[in-house]
């Protein structure tokens, strides 16, 4: 799969006006392979931007270049309009939360928080006050004398957050900060972090490989793959209007059917699937008849109840293979157009039918939900 | 929490004590563990614990006098050193009888040697009387005959020494080991020209400390570099660090001799460079300098390895975090990296110091007069002077010293803070 590259400067990445700007940044570790290929990105003041991508996609490298721990091989990184390529990390004034928190084990919580203030030569009284305020902010006021090892994962997380914020940086970087927490705590901290970021008005660059985290927390999400940004959009747009197959498959669950474009007219096109059926689709990323395409449909946009199918909906025959009860939703695995991994999600509504394996049904969807993407 | 407040032992389902049940369940495992370590345990017992026990015993053991001269020892009980005179005829008669048996068993020379440690001249005194004993007349008074053989038998010093060392256990060796001696008049300091052990102990500790510090100074940067390199490069460098382990200690020490002597490579180069005059060549060997240089080299890996193993576990994110919080690289190192490497320093320092304090061969070869350690003196007493008791006492003191330092370290740094791997 060769995802189509979003050509030219991305939306908003016009350079100069952003708080953080990556301008044609490239990075190579060995002089042979580019880990980051031509990165252009502009982050506004107060924005919560998430870099999302599988491991090895270059997102952490970008974060490290911004923090100053890696140098860009080519291109400029600007912070508040000033290039920072040659400024060492300790002079950048960027707060950072590390993956494993990196709380200093030989210092108490209070000393950990006091550290950034001490190295800035701030007096004891002011330090104590700021430390107290930062700890109260994350509801950890009474833990000031504990050692990091005496805290739970969630508490360490809060301290790491407080430490990154205590010296009042305008920009805070977070490198998979919630990766080590269990699900419930993670969801709670997601909320906590977004609330803090919003209240303090700080700019946050957040790196994660967890798409739920990215969707729930961010103003904008940059999807990384293969050293490039595949798509940069707000969460809803990213989910509903993926611009290429990689994004469609990486974000949320997705059904794909492969075929060949037959004709394109305006905002609809027809695709002949490999199994012979011809369906209508929304031509997002195809340009001419004869092109191979992957058609993508979200499982929750697939409908089998004729009464609920809208006017103009397109139908296909499907055989029920498996019915999974998941509480709030039903998940049905179907054989459609020769593929037996087609998933349909239906809400557990009062009138919802529980389908039996072996049953043959007709499924349908709206042509605009069926996106013809690059193959 | 509140459930656990009810007192009494916890019972199993069928009412037996949970502790006993658990012990029974674990017994098999413990037995298996014991079987696995049994060969080593036996080996350690035979080759380590037993010799140390024997050594500790030898440092106080003194049966030779009471076994060789049983009658004399009893007869001497009534004599007082303070009288200023040699004992009477009865004691001489007892001595004559004891010596007759001793000469037959040829143990009188050994006794002489033993007593010679305490008063010089004793050895020849016993040897001489041993030779002449057969020609003495048992019907004439013994006292006169002994005095005829050697006037010294009339000296109360001689008898005082025999009396003082007649008990089967003695603190004499330990007193000798700290430059004191046990005389009939009580414990007193040795004459100034015979005091050597306290000075040697001091020197051993001082030089070992210096060597430990030098290995730390040289080893810390290397270990830091090693732990921050890629695995492949680090392994190659590690081989270089371990290289000294692969050559014989003797070869290495001899190599230092070649390098450091006054007509050696280093002095030649310095003269050639014009840094020192030809007639002012540096004395780098056969003194304390030589010992420090050679032993620093030999013990360096023992500092580097624990340091490396600790540094390897310090994630780079700590220093990064410190920098991101605004600390200069040096501050980040001093306040964040260095404190976390202390367990490695502790382990390396203990290892090097304890090895150094008991080191023997290198100081012997390159130490000359001013660079020898207490262990060289121990070796001398064990293999040359054959004063095993004194050697054992010195060894026991060394052992106590090491244990004391260990306890001190535990108190100051905490032994939990040591990480050997």
A20-94+169-245 against A253-374: fold identical: no
> Considering CB atoms only, which of B326, B329, B336 is closest to A93?
B326
Residues B73 and B113 in one domain: yes
Kindly write down the DSSP assignment for every residue of B117-153, as one continuous string. Answer: TTSTTHHHHHHHHHHHGGGS-TTS-HHHHHHHH-GGG
**Helical H runs in B325-418?**
329-332, 338-357, 361-366, 374-383, 388-412
Closest residue by Cα to residue A95 from B325, B51, B264? B325
Q: Does A115 touch chain B (CB under 8 A)?
A: yes
CB pairs A-B closer than 8 Å: 65
Residues B216 and B318 in one domain: yes
Lowest model confidence (mean pLDDT) among A13-22, A263-272, B18-27, B323-332 = A13-22
Residue B52 lies in a domain: no
Residues B212 and B352 in one domain: yes
What are the domain boundaries of chain A? 20-94+169-245, 253-374
Residues B268 and B371 in one domain: yes
Residue B106 lies in a domain: yes
Kindly write down the DSSP assignment for every residue of A48-98, as one continuous string. Answer: EEEEE--TTSSHHHHHHHHHTSS--SEEEEEETTEE-TTS-GGGT--EEE-
Whether residues A102 and B315 touch (CB distance < 8 A) is answered with yes
Residue B344 lies in a domain: yes
Whether residues A90 and B335 touch (CB distance < 8 A) is answered with no
Write out pLDDT tens, residues B21-43: 888 888 988 999 999 999 999 99
Question: Which of B135, B161, B191 is where one domain is finished?
Answer: B191
Angle between helices B197-228 and B388-412 (to 10 degrees): 50
Q: What is the mean pLDDT of residues B338-345?
A: 91
Whether residues B324 and A95 touch (CB distance < 8 A) is answered with yes
Residues B161 and B303 in one domain: no
- Number of domains present in the structure of chain B: 2
Q: B418 versus A169: which is more confidently predicted?
A: A169
Nearest CA in chain A to B323: A90
Write out pLDDT tens, residues A76-123: 999 998 999 899 999 999 999 998 899 999 999 999 999 999 999 999
Tokens of B72: 């004399």
Residues B255 and B308 in one domain: yes
**Domain region containing B173:** 63-191
Q: Which secondary structure element, helix H or strand E, spans residue B241, and what is its range?
A: helix B231-246
Indicate the burial class of B116 (C-beta count within 10 angstroms; 0-12, 13-18, 19 or more).
Answer: middle
**Dihedral class, residue A295 (left if φ above 0, else alpha if ψ from -120 to 50, else beta):** beta
Residues B173 and B225 in one domain: no
Looking at chain A from residue 235 to 264, which residues have their Cβ under 8 Å from any Cβ of chain B?
none
Tell me the β-bridge partners of A333: A322, A343
CATH number, domain containing residue B208: 1.10.3720.10
* Domain spanning A253-374, CATH class: mainly beta
Contacts of B327 in chain A (CB under 8 A): 90, 115-116, 119
pLDDT-derived band at A30 (thresholds 50, 70, 90) equals: confident
Which CATH superfamily includes the segment(s) A20-94+169-245?
P-loop containing nucleotide triphosphate hydrolases (3.40.50.300)
Residues B343 and B204 in one domain: yes
- CA–CA distance, B332 with B318 (Å, rounded to integer): 9
Cβ pair A334, A364 in contact under 8 A: no
Pick from B321, B339, B341 the residue to mutate for testing the A interface (most A CBs within 10 Å): B321
Write out pLDDT tens, residues A231-249: 999 999 999 888 888 998 8
Cβ pair A322, A333 in contact under 8 A: yes
Question: Which of B162, B191, B220 is where one domain is finished?
Answer: B191
User: How far, in Å, are A248, A252, A275, A293 from residue A335 at the CA level?
Assistant: 21, 20, 12, 20
Q: Does A98 touch chain B (CB under 8 A)?
A: yes
Tokens of A6: 């979003």
Q: Does A29 touch chain B (CB under 8 A)?
A: no
Residues B154 and B295 in one domain: no
CA angle B144, B146, B151 (to 5 degrees): 90
Question: Which of B165, B191, B217 is where one domain is finished?
Answer: B191
* Residues of chain B with a CB closer than 8 angstroms to some CB in chain A: 315, 317-318, 320-329, 331-332, 335-336, 339-340
- CA–CA distance, A244 with A267 (Å, rounded to integer): 16
Whether residues B327 and A88 touch (CB distance < 8 A) is answered with no
Residues B173 and B203 in one domain: no
Q: Which secondary structure element, helix H or strand E, spans residue B164, and what is its range?
A: helix B156-164
Cβ pair A42, A18 in contact under 8 A: yes
- CA–CA distance, B352 with B218 (Å, rounded to integer): 13
Residue B47 lies in a domain: no
Residues B167 and B249 in one domain: no
Whether residues B321 and A93 touch (CB distance < 8 A) is answered with no
ipTM of the complex: 0.80
Closest residue by Cα to residue A321 from A363, A351, A349? A363
> Considering CB atoms only, which of B315, B320, B332 is closest to A69?
B320
């Amino acid at each position: 799969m060769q995802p189509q590259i979003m050509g030219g400067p991305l939306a908003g990445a016009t350079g100069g006006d952003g708080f953080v700007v990556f301008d044609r940044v490239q990075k190579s570790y060995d002089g042979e392979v580019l880990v980051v290929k031509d990165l252009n990105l502009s982050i506004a003041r107060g924005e919560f931007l998430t870099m999302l991508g599988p491991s090895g996609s270059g997102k952490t490298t970008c974060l490290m270049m911004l923090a100053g721990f890696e140098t860009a091989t080519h291109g400029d990184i600007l912070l508040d309009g000033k290039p920072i390529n040659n400024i060492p990390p300790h002079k950048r004034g960027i707060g950072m939360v590390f993956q494993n928190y990196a709380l200093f084990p030989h210092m108490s919580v209070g000393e950990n928080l006091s550290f950034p203030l001490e190295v800035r030569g701030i007096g004891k009284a002011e330090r104590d006050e700021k430390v107290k305020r930062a700890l109260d902010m994350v509801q950890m006021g009474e833990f000031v004398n504990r050692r990091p090892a005496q805290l739970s994962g969630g508490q360490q997380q809060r301290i790491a957050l407080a430490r990154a914020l205590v010296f009042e940086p305008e920009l805070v970087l977070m490198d998979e900060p919630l990766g080590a927490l269990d699900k419930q705590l993670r969801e709670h901290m997601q909320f906590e972090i977004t609330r803090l970021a919003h209240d303090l008005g700080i700019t946050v660059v957040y790196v994660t490989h967890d798409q739920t985290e990215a969707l729930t927390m961010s103003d904008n999400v940059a999807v990384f793959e293969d050293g490039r940004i595949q798509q940069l959009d707000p969460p809803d747009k990213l989910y509903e209007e993926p611009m290429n197959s990689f994004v469609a498959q990486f974000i949320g669950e997705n059904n794909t059917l492969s075929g060949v474009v037959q004709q394109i007219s305006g905002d609809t096109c027809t695709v002949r699937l490999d199994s012979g059926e011809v369906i209508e689709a929304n031509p997002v990323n195809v340009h001419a008849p004869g092109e191979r395409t992957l058609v993508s449909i979200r499982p929750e946009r697939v409908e089998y109840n004729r009464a609920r199918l809208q006017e103009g909906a397109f139908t296909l025959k499907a055989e029920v293979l498996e019915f999974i009860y998941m509480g709030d939703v039903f998940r049905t695995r179907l054989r459609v157009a020769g593929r037996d991994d087609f998933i349909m999600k239906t809400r557990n509504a009062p009138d919802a039918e529980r389908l039996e394996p072996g049953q043959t049904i007709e499924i349908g969807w709206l042509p605009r939900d069926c996106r013809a993407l690059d193959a | 929490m509140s459930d656990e407040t009810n007192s009494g032992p916890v019972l199993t389902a069928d009412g037996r004590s949970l502790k006993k049940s658990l012990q029974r369940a674990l017994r098999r495992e413990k037995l298996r563990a014991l079987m696995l370590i049994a060969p080593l345990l036996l080996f350690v017992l035979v080759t380590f614990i037993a010799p140390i026990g024997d050594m500790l015993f030898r440092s106080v053991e003194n049966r030779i006098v009471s076994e060789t001269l049983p009658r004399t020892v009893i007869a001497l009980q009534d004599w007082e050193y303070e009288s200023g005179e040699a004992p009477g005829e009865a004691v001489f008669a007892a001595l004559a009888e004891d010596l007759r048996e001793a000469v037959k068993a040829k143990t009188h020379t050994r006794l002489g040697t033993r007593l010679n440690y305490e008063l010089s001249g004793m050895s020849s005194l016993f040897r001489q009387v041993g030779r002449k004993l057969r020609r003495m007349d048992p019907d004439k008074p013994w006292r006169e005959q002994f005095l005829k053989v050697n006037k010294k038998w009339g000296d109360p010093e001689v008898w005082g020494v025999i009396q003082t060392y007649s008990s089967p256990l003695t603190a004499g060796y330990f007193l000798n080991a700290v430059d004191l001696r046990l005389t009939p008049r009580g414990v007193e300091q040795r004459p100034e020209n015979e005091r050597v052990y306290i000075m040697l102990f001091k020197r051993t500790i001082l030089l070992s400390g210096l060597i430990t510090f030098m290995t730390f100074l040289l080893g810390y940067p290397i270990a830091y570099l090693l732990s921050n390199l890629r695995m492949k490069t680090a392994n190659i460098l590690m081989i270089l660090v371990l290289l000294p382990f692969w050559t014989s200690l003797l070869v290495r020490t001899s190599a230092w001799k070649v390098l450091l002597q006054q007509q050696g490579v280093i002095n030649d180069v310095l003269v050639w460079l014009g840094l020192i005059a030809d007639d002012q060549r540096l004395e780098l060997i056969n003194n304390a300098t030589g010992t420090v240089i050679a032993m620093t080299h030999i013990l360096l890996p023992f500092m580097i390895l624990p340091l490396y193993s600790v540094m390897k576990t310090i994630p780079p994110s700590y220093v990064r975090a410190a920098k991101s919080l605004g600390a200069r690289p040096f501050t980040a190192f001093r306040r964040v990296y260095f404190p976390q490497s202390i367990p490695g320093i502790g382990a390396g320092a203990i290892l090097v110091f304890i090895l150094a304090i008991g080191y023997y061969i290198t100081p012997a070869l390159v130490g000359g007069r001013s660079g020898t350690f207490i262990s060289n003196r121990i070796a001398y007493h064990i293999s040359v002077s054959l004063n095993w008791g004194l050697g054992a006492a010195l060894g026991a003191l060394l052992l106590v010293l090491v244990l004391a330092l260990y306890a001190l370290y535990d108190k100051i740094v905490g032994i939990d803070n040591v990480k050997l791997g």
